[in-house]
Amino acid sequence: MEDIYRYSYNKMGVKGYLLVGFFLLVGILIGIYSSVRYGIIISVFALGQLAYKKGIEIDIKNKKYRLYTSIGPVYIGDWEPLFGIQYISVFRALLASTPSAIPQDFKHREEVFQVNLITRENTRLKFLQTIHDKEAWEFAKEIAPKLNLKIWDATNKKGKWYESESPLATLSQ
């Protein structure tokens, strides 16, 4: 297992890749048939969208974290000590968004699960966001012992501390 965990916040979906591909194609066509300069600018913009990321990294071994911005393989961000972390939270949320070209009464809703690190000041460091609850729980169970933290189950209205399955419970099933 790695000692540094990295999570990127802005993951492009299929639509994002299609949009980048479209702009890349437009840039190439403009470069061939009109202006090489504008074609290069549009193509570089499209490729830059593939290389740009924001996220969080946690260095387990050295007990520090950083919020980063990356362009390609270069990660920029200041490392901060990872002290004051109280617990890990697995949180269920309903995200709602309204596409700009559609009337306001239509909202796209998506249930997501977040794994957050909660500090003494009750601030959250979002470490993972996924639509799969199993993925969120597996990640939280994997990282909690590394940081020596408990897991708070906030997937229901009434939260509770997660208790790991005992070996006897799994044997009896």
Give me the half-sphere count of Cα atoms (radius 13 Å) on the Cβ side of residue 67: 5
Task: Give me Rg for the CA atoms of the chain.
Answer: 21
What per-residue confidence (pLDDT) applies to 115? 92
Distance in angstroms (rounded) separating the CA atoms of residues 118 and 161: 14
Distance in angstroms (rounded) separating the CA atoms of residues 129 and 95: 11
pTM: 0.62
What per-residue confidence (pLDDT) applies to 151? 95
Q: Across the 173 residues of the chain, what is the mean pLDDT of every consecutive 10-residue run?
A: 72 76 90 90 85 85 88 88 89 75 63 90 85 89 88 91 61 38
